[in-house]
Structure 1
């Protein structure tokens, strides 16, 4: 375990977009004590710091002038249960997909709809990751976070995490400093398949599976994702680049009058969630490129590095897409990745 940061560190292999950039310094964090040491050091405590997990939800637009804290904490276990739930804990540095597959191997369902999402366990509550009818908040129990201001750890429940669509307290001013160390999930003992997402339900029907197991749901999700989305190990990308915009009911109704095929999904609060990929596709961006940055031909919601793209090229492409969608639909798309 190294407690001293490595200077002038290359970051290309640590971000799924594959953007070439460097950091002033880098520290691979495998023990909580390393964090204590960094924040006790007056030089590093005063330096800009970026907490990095799997590198799947940020875009490097320049070299980083401070210290990268790469959270690589490991460990996973079933920590108990009650009449209704299995409680399963994983360290923040665990690979998310590997963790999901591990829970299934223990005979515990509940996370299968989130199979094959890139990144680490620690990023799951920060981003409130979601796919195929399930979000982190739906299966979340608690987490442990390190507070650099006090040098102490704290347990946080769902209310304190303030989960929202692709959002949480960890992305807000009052929670951005907190570093997630581990996450505990409450997975139902009376498991039932979550087939609210129409594409997933249809894919199971086409396989002739009327009563799927958790493993069959996971395998189907994996197959769908592999068919639609590029592998970051082959084509640099950060998954879905834009959030699906949420608009009021009246605005959606007005859009439907002009665009009857508009893909939209009613929300419990009366708002409507629009399909960002559909909006981008209708503006003619699917498969197009600006420089070495492009829109994936099979899924307009994914921006890709076609080889040697800079962060600036990806930003220029994103801004061009935003401008076209806003001009045509009056809707501003919000990027999911954090721009660094």
Structure 2
């Protein structure tokens, strides 16, 4: 297929972002090879047009129409090899993350089950260092393959070079501009150990639990709490869970002994942003066409034809209420996209 056949001019982005924000781009193109990706990006820049690479649009908030080309990363493929100790997966960035988790279980490959039903494509996973129910991508990632779009040079970064942190990585900072993830390498140990520290997983019997049971339990929990984007546009967790020092956590727990908390490295403590928002009596709170989800306060939803700026207004209100009550400033997990590209979400919301 020729590149010209893939270009759609003045394309609607509403079906391409899970917030269902009704905006448009100058052009949209699905790319299925690394060569197509580089070629179309260069064509856009040669025409003085910004270019944005998008997966499933599950962790972005469009603030306005995009004045450039949106390239949909659809580079596919899953290659599996193994030795006595582990399975090694090389996965194309355009693969759907949840489908990868399901495929692994079907092949009796364990280790990804706690990350079931996280929306998005595989290529987005390292950017956020996705995590859920006690497991993060950083624990499983062996390498990430990227292409520098200006030069077309492909490079492999080890897990250490990715500088993973809580919902953070080098791809949000030093490699944010003109670099695109095209594949992710995972190492899944055969010496499987269940992680049952969160939610209803604590009810499972660690002695005889199976990966499939963990997967099923997590799917049930997420379906019971998280809204279907097809019914109420959303990007999942809008805010990061705040991580504070032990002294600050001790003071908060003295006032709120029922607050959920999780010990982190370096004497840090992670709090539950959803609980903080709920204690501010914001669960179900509505502002115009937006709302705080009535079952999971960490999720903001496009309830009725909301714009990106409507979501920002709600997020700003939530953030201010939490700060007023707990003296903690929540940070957005969602990436904000303006007319020319990604903008500083924290600066916008502040």
Q: TM-score, normalised by structure 2?
A: 0.92
Return the alpha-carbon distance in structure 2 between the equivalents of residues 111 and 286 of structure 1.
30
Q: CA deviation at 1:297?
A: 0.6
Match of 2:63 in 1: 61
Return the alpha-carbon distance in structure 2 between the equivalents of residues 260 and 216 of structure 1.
31
Return the alpha-carbon distance in structure 2 between the equivalents of residues 282 and 123 of structure 1.
31
Return the alpha-carbon distance in structure 2 between the equivalents of residues 298 and 40 of structure 1.
44
Return closer, same or farther for 1:20/1:111 CA change in 2, 3 Å cut-off: same
Match of 2:292 in 1: 295
Match of 1:224 in 2: 221
Post-superposition CA distance 1:43-78 (Å, at most 9, x none): 447421211001110001100111111101111121
Return closer, same or farther for 1:143/1:43 CA change in 2, 3 Å cut-off: closer
Post-superposition CA distance 1:53-106 (Å, at most 9, x none): 01110001100111111101111121x223321001211111110111001111
Return closer, same or farther for 1:285/1:169 CA change in 2, 3 Å cut-off: same
Return the alpha-carbon distance in structure 1 between the equivalents of residues 116 and 262 of structure 2.
23
Return the alpha-carbon distance in structure 1 between the equivalents of residues 312 and 267 of structure 2.
33
Return the alpha-carbon distance in structure 2 between the equivalents of residues 297 and 196 of structure 1.
25
Q: Secondary structure at the match of 1:41?
A: helix
The correspondence of residues 197-208 of structure 1 with structure 2, limited to 5 A, is: 197-202=198-203, 204-205=204-205
The correspondence of residues 57-136 of structure 1 with structure 2, limited to 5 A, is: 57-78=59-80, 80-136=81-137
Q: Is the 8 A contact 1:53 1:71 kept in 2?
A: yes
Match of 1:278 in 2: 275
Q: Secondary structure at the match of 1:100?
A: helix
Match of 1:262 in 2: 259
Match of 1:51 in 2: 53
RMSD between superposed Cα atoms in Å:
1.6
Q: CA deviation at 1:255?
A: 2.1
Match of 2:164 in 1: 163
Return the alpha-carbon distance in structure 2 between the equivalents of residues 221 and 21 of structure 1.
33
Which consecutive unaligned segments of at least 5 residues does structure 2 have? 338-350
Q: CA deviation at 1:256?
A: 2.5
Alignment match of 1:242 (pick from 224, 239, 242): 239
Return the alpha-carbon distance in structure 2 between the equivalents of residues 43 and 223 of structure 1.
44
Which consecutive unaligned segments of at least 5 residues does structure 1 have? none
Match of 2:248 in 1: 251
Q: Is the 8 A contact 2:54 2:73 kept in 1?
A: yes
Match of 2:28 in 1: 26
